[in-house]
Amino acid sequence: MGEIFSPGKLMLTSEYFAMDGALVLAVPTKLGQEFSFEEKDDEKSLIFWEAYHQNKLWLKVAIDYQNWQILETNIPSSAEFILKTLKNVQALPTIKFKNNFTYHLKTNLQFPADYGLGSSSTLMTNLAEWAQIDPFHLNKISLGGSGYDIAVAKEKSAVLFQSVPEIKYEKVNFDPPFKNELIFIHLNQKQDSREGINLYKSKRRSQNRVDEFSNLTRNILLCNELKNFSQLMLIHEQRISDFLEIPTVKERLFADCPVFIKSLGAWGGDFVMSSKFEGFKDYFWGKGFRTIFEYSDLID
């Protein structure tokens, strides 16, 4: 049985502006998604799919891929998504699902689904590596999105990423000397990213704003001091707040916090980044946020 692994991701800069070509800094997480596969010569032409969440089985699907029919499943809506995705795999230049083989495919998501670390992007990347196809193309026809999360999962590295006018990215070494001072707090308020995207698209955008966030990303990557990093994060957060005309997460939830609070990805849910201060655990716990990771706990 073969095995593949793709890491999750955290988007540190540019958020919504990534859609218009702003430079993104994103980093891989230690946790990700495992994918194992076994292929047997068999004229039945079936796919047996098992999906585990933190090693607990939650989805089983049996598919006839000659006719693309679901033969058996415990969750029909999720099975339809798997069928659609695997059908997309077959439509791309691959040898998978084109011969008389039976496939036993198994996934295991290592992190809670509400963490927003990339359950879909890690799945797309694992499937693409197995089928030897372009993960960005598979992601585009199956899900959409800028693709920064695919780049992180594919390269298993921090990346600088741009999606406009075409996808391009480079692996970078994001290893700030102050990383042990950084923390990540899970808000446990899953955000509908579509709502944020629609709000962003309703605003008047300009190339100057895109360039502004690209420059912030470059400066953040080069930071060697926590003080400068914190100032850039505050600027970044305020500029997006001003553009979207909504309060920052610090204004909404942590107005008395003595250090920066930076949203990561879709505003309003998932993780935020901050830095340590005296009594920081008691502070966040007192406000009801008990899931706190130090940098080395979460980032690979």
Residue range 106-148, pLDDT digits in tens: 999 999 988 989 999 999 999 999 999 999 999 999 998 889 9
Q: What is the DSSP string of 251-272?
A: HHH-TT-SS-EEE-SSTTSSEE
Q: What is the pLDDT at residue 172? A: 97
Domain spanning 2-171: CATH 3.40.1440.10: no
The predicted-structure confidence for 260-290, as pLDDT tens digits, reads as follows 999 997 775 689 999 999 999 999 999 999 9
**CATH number of this structure's domain 179-298:** 3.30.70.890
What pLDDT shows up at residue 206?
Answer: 74
Q: What residue spans of the chain are helical by DSSP H?
A: 76-91, 119-131, 135-142, 148-155, 193-201, 207-221, 226-244, 249-253, 280-286, 295-298
What is residue 300's predicted lDDT score, i.e. its pLDDT? 75
Helix (DSSP H) and strand (DSSP E) numbers for the chain: 10, 12
CA distance 33 to 56: 13
Strand 101-109 to strand 24-41: parallel, antiparallel, or no bridges (unpaired)? Answer: antiparallel
Spatial contact of 271 and 116, defined as CB atoms under 8 Å apart: yes
Contact 90, 65 (CB under 8 A): yes
pLDDT in tens, 182-241: 999 999 875 555 666 677 777 667 788 999 999 999 999 999 999 999 999 999 999 999
The per-residue b/e assignment along 98-110, b for 16 or more CB within 10 angstroms, e otherwise, is eeebbbebbbbbb
* Mean per-residue pLDDT of the chain: 93
Say what the pLDDT of residue 143 is.
92
**2-171 and 179-298: identical CATH topology:** no
Amino acid 193: pLDDT: 59
Do the strands 101-109 and 46-53 form a parallel or antiparallel pair, or are they unpaired?
Answer: parallel
Residue spans per domain, the chain: 2-171, 179-298
Q: Are 118 and 271 in contact (CB under 8 A)?
A: no
